[in-house]
Amino acid sequence: MTGNHSHPAPYVVVVGGANVDILGFPHNRLTLRDSNPGHVKLAWGGVGRNIAENICRLGIKCFLITILGRDFYARQIIEHGRLIGLEILTPQLPPDAITSSYIALHDETGDMAVALACMDAYDNFPAGFILDHRDLIAGAACLVVDGNIPAPILTLIFDLYRGPVYYDPVSTAKAEKARAVLGRFHCIKPNRHEAEALSGLRIADDGDLAAAASHFLELGVNRVFLTLDRHGLFFADRQQSRRLVLPPPEVVNATGAGDAFVAGLVVSHLHQLNLCDTAAFATACSVCALRHFETINPSLSFELVAQTLEELNEHLRILPAE
């Protein structure tokens, strides 16, 4: 889909991956190197696409710039976007181009045990397609990019856009692409392993978390949210650093929790929440995702997150970083 688009402010532009997810869940304890009884589901995924859908469901207009093939999956992803108010912009590829795919096997707790992503199409992301949408990008209230976007395209985006850019590295393997422009991001959301890859520092304790966050802030990043799975969150800006502690929530499907968290960061920014309130709101978004079998909770809304946050407040603690 290309062409001119009406885009009333404020709106968000996400530049990132979209693909078909094939997700496996065992009925019992997962046994590697064996055939496990279980169930398999098909879903529309990709970190960028997931973030964009969550942003839409939280009440913010969103555009997704991505790469899709010329196949059944691409048509379904575009149609699903239309139904939720997400406009998907993708370059015209050859007729035999296939949509990227992601296969994940989960363990008995609902957490991902191993995954394989076939996202090679993004290595040749056409710069001309970004330039075709320079006005859309320049007018966004906020931009989100994920780790599927190659370094030259990241550089081009920063040439076109002067507003806040949020970054999700996606994986340690993909984090390297952003190293040269890391300090130009407004906000980054790595997990512990991605933070190690981006900083070159080993992270073993809270002191190391603080050192990694300081490294990013000194480069020029304004906000760092370092996710720690079941151990909560370490987050910082240039004035403060904090730990968010929450008892492990019920996990039905962990696949989309990080994507919901990033959407929560973006929506918090547009609602002008302070650092601690942003961390709490984004955490509530991720809990909403964890509690639903679907990668993206179809009931997600600003109201559901507010209700979830009220419920979590009894157990959620934000502490000064040691």
Q: Tens of pLDDT along 104-141?
A: 999 988 888 998 988 888 988 999 999 999 999 999 99
Cα gap 292→279, rounded to integer Å: 21
Q: In what order do the strands lie in the sheet with 86-89?
A: 86-89, 61-65, 11-15, 142-146, 165-168, 187-188, 223-227, 233-236, 241-245, 317-320
Q: Which of 182, 188, 236 is nearest to 209 (CA)?
A: 236
CATH number of 11-320: 3.40.1190.20
Pairing mode of beta strands 86-89, 101-106? unpaired
Q: What is the pTM of this model?
A: 0.91
Q: Is 66 exposed, middle or buried (0-12, 13-18, 19+ CB in 10 A)?
A: buried
Q: What is the pLDDT of residue 9?
A: 66
Q: What is the pLDDT of residue 5?
A: 55
Residue with tokens 């000194």: 218
Domain boundaries, the chain: 11-320
Confidence of residue 3 (pLDDT cuts 50, 70, 90): very low
